[in-house]
Structure 1
Amino acid sequence: MQAHTKQALEDKPLEDKHPEEEPLAEKLPGDTSPEDERPDERPDKRRRDDMPLGGKPLEPAHLRHVLGHFCTGITVITAMENGQPPVGFACQSFVSLSLEPPLVSFSVSRLSRSWRGIRRAGRFCVNILHAEQEPLCRRFAATGADRFAGVEWWPSPVTGSPRLAGALAWVDCTIETVYPGGDHRIAVGRVRDLDIADGEAEPLLFFLAGFRRTAPPTPSASAPTP
């Protein structure tokens, strides 16, 4: 794996986290708030289970640094409500969840404005980025700008969610259910359609707060002659 850009996004995860944004005033179906949770499940309460054996609380910065050693791909989650502008955000928490039924999952900050449109739409498209789409990723991770300005896209075949031009692959989904996950929500989607757009491209990776690319493949060593 080759380093491409170090300290990308100021060591912040790519999920749609915007501390300056106000929490959603409107409670959507299936959502919960910290007030809905039992006191020992609130994300701001230090529980005994959250502490290492030494008894010291886990520091968020240390947690982020250690977990940053897990390399991930990068996606852009998009959606569009009827009659509303499209929404989307850069996401590194996308995972395949189940084959039967076909389910995928991603997590998103409770403070995310993008999530409001995705939840209301009830559907979304996962756009898996390739190695040359770092600028597109940065656009969808930025705040205070029209993320779709100048971006080429067309409706996905089933849900009509934005399918971004040039993506490595795409997954068209409807929202199956949403679970609380501390300071995030965990969204589960049922796959309605999917395909590979460019089978020759390399994926865009994220590792230790920087964008990375896969290393050139190493030729397999010949088997020794008996």
Structure 2
Amino acid sequence: MTGTLHAQAALGPDRFRSLLRRHAAGVVVVTAPGPAGFTATSFTSVSLEPPLVSFCLDRRSSSWPAVERAGHVAVHVLAEAQEHVARRFATSGVDRFAAPLRWRAGAHDVPVLDDALAVLVCRVVERVHAGDHAIVLAEPVHGEHRDGQPLLYHDGRYLKAA
């Protein structure tokens, strides 16, 4: 291992966030009927049989009430050219669905964003409260994808795949 590990006795929120910034992640936007949506890097596959995915959301966020009551959500894997979409859905106090963003009502009235690398429309199967967040488990029921490279997030910055 190269580099030096720096240990600290207390692991407060700022230090925890700093540690997690070392992990590179794909960037998704999760949408729910309303419309509501948010940017997340906590998306992951959970199971193949049955197919399940998960994402996490702060229960104090403006999107939580819509996700809390939604029967279905859409997870959009963003393409490398969609940093502007990631930033819009990570910004509070704006109309995230306003033009020039292009989107349509998909199955189960879930907003589907145009130009995403992949879209999974999912049935929410469980919400687990974990600290100040909720872990949402969802079963993909429809999906579509296109060729391209994903948008990544690492150390507080959006990056393009090499």
TM-score, length-scaled by structure 1 = 0.66
Aligned to 1:144: 93
Shift of 1:57: 2.2
Contact 1:123/1:174, CA 8 A, preserved across alignment: yes
Contact 1:159/1:173, CA 8 A, preserved across alignment: no
Shift of 1:63: 1.5
How many residue pairs get aligned? The number is: 155
> Which one of 105, 111, 121 corresponds to residue 155 of structure 1?
105
Aligned to 2:27: 74
Contact 1:159/1:174, CA 8 A, preserved across alignment: no
Partner Cα distance (2:25, 2:139) in 1 = 21
Contact 1:173/1:190, CA 8 A, preserved across alignment: yes
Q: Runs of 5+ in structure 2 lacking a partner?
A: 1-6
Partner Cα distance (1:66, 1:167) in 2 = 29
> Which one of 9, 14, 17 corresponds to residue 64 of structure 1?
17
Partner Cα distance (2:91, 2:52) in 1 = 28
Q: Which runs of 4+ in 1 moved over 6 A?
A: none
Shift of 1:202: 0.9
Aligned to 1:38: none
- Structure of higher CA gyration radius: 1
Give the partner amino acid of 2:36: V
The answer as to 2:122 corresponding to 1:169 is: no
Partner Cα distance (2:21, 2:159) in 1 = 13
Which string of whole-angstrom CA distances, capped at 9 and with x for unpartnered residues, describes residues 63-88 of structure 1?
211211110000100011xxxx4100
Secondary structure in 1 aligned to 2:60?
coil
Counting aligned pairs with the same residue, the percent is 37
Q: Runs of 5+ in structure 1 lacking a partner?
A: 1-52, 216-226
Shift of 1:155: 2.4
